[in-house]
Amino acid sequence: MIVFIQVPCLNEEDTLPLVLASMPTTIPGVDKIEILIIDDGSTDKTIAVAKRLGVKHFVKHTRNRGLARSFHDGVNYALAHGADIVVNTDGDNQYPQERISNLVQPIIKGKADMVIGDRQTHQIAHFSRFKKIMQRFGTYVVNQAAGSDLPDAASGFRAYSRESLYRLNIITQFSYTMETIVQAGNKHLRIASIAIDTNPKTRESRLFKNSWHHMTKSAEAIIRSYFMFKPFAFFGGMGLLLFIAGSIPFVSYGINALIIHHRGAHLQSLILGVTLVTASLLSFSLGVIADLQRINRVLHEDTLERLKRLQFDKAKTTTKSKRS
């Protein structure tokens, strides 16, 4: 069993030594632990510091490409080098690396495909009240979209099984944390979570300028993943609402004009009714198109999964034969 611990880094020369010093050297049930630094276009000495501290695996971006892309490239590297489990932790020493041993256990024991470190955000002293409420709300929405019951959806301290990485595909540029949960939930992967204590803050988040920024970006990621998986729920629901709203003036006009020959049968009701019912038909049609797209995506993802297996399973057998 090979565990790759990947650390996405954008100018982390100051905190990286702390992160590397707290990495586990042995984990029960694991034969080999490899550390992988994903340098996302750092302009400081991140790479030199990592090399000096003995890191052997690097993925380098010549310019900044963002955290989601860094995660994606790190995972591909790890899979190509025979990883059975990929752990992600941050370069700002926010997460307790010494708990990685616990984080991977549910996967080793076959009880989960993905494990998330729950930061217990309600207890974090430097989180404002607003941030805590937003954290809880964001997690609630993700759970709704994923059909899961997780305490902390935004945590970046996670372990993924090789199998789950074959099946997950990162699409959004931002907030891949939320996206992976929605995907994993909808693909019926088993997600577990363990409680962790976070380390004292070393610096402000550079990913999000403030809580609003965090919220809008997360909302965007959740809505997009929701559309990906349940497009008909949205367009069908909207179509139904519009149809009901449109039927009322439509029917009232019909009764007034045709049955009781009422003089006050307002043409406006007819116009409103027709507009709303037309909008509802449009919404249903969009729903059908979106649903066909979804089916298309499922087929594409199936191909992609097979491709990954072809590509990475070969790497796995080569690493195995090299080691034996």
Ligand X SMILES: Nc1nc2c(ncn2[C@@H]2O[C@H](COP(=O)(O)OP(=O)(O)O)[C@@H](O)[C@H]2O)c(=O)[nH]1
Per CB under 5 A, residues contacting Mg ion are 92, 94
Sheet with 114-118: strands ordered across = 57-61, 32-40, 2-9, 85-88, 158-161, 114-118, 191-195
Q: Binders of ligand X among 114-173, rule CB under 6 A?
A: 156
Residue 8 to residues 45, 139, 143, 155, Cα–Cα distance (Å) = 14, 23, 26, 14
Q: 50-89 mask for ligand X (x: CB under 6 A)?
A: --------------x-xx--x-------------------
- Of 2-10, 103-111, 168-176, 253-261, the segment contacting ligand X by CB under 6 A is 2-10
Q: Tell me whether residue 70 or residue 164 sits nearer to ligand X (CB atom).
A: 70
What is the number of other CB atoms lying within 10 angstroms of the CB of residue 104?
28
**Dist. CA 287–CA 246, nearest whole Å:** 18
H helix or E strand, kind and range, residue 35: strand 32-40
Query: Least distance to ligand X from the beta carbon of 138, Å?
Result: 13
Question: Helix axis angle, 211-229 relative to 129-146, nearest 10°?
Answer: 10
Out of Mg ion, ligand X, none, what residue 152 binds, judged by CB under 5 to 8 A for its kind, is none
Per CB under 6 A, which region of 204-212, 216-224, 292-300, 307-315 contacts ligand X?
Answer: 204-212
Report, in Å, the least distance between residue 110 CB and ligand X: 30
Residue whose pair of structure tokens reads 């307002």 in the numeric block: 266
Cα four-point dihedral sign 102, 105, 107, 112: negative
Rounded-to-integer distance, Cα 222 and Cα 214, Å: 12
Least distance between ligand X and beta carbon 90 (Å): 4
User: Quick one: 222 or 276, whose CB is closer to ligand X?
Assistant: 222
Q: Which does 40 bind (CB under 5 to 8 A by kind): Mg ion, ligand X, none?
A: ligand X
Q: In the complex, which residues of this chain contact ligand X (CB under 6 A)?
A: 8-10, 12, 40, 64, 66-67, 70, 90-92, 94, 156, 205-208
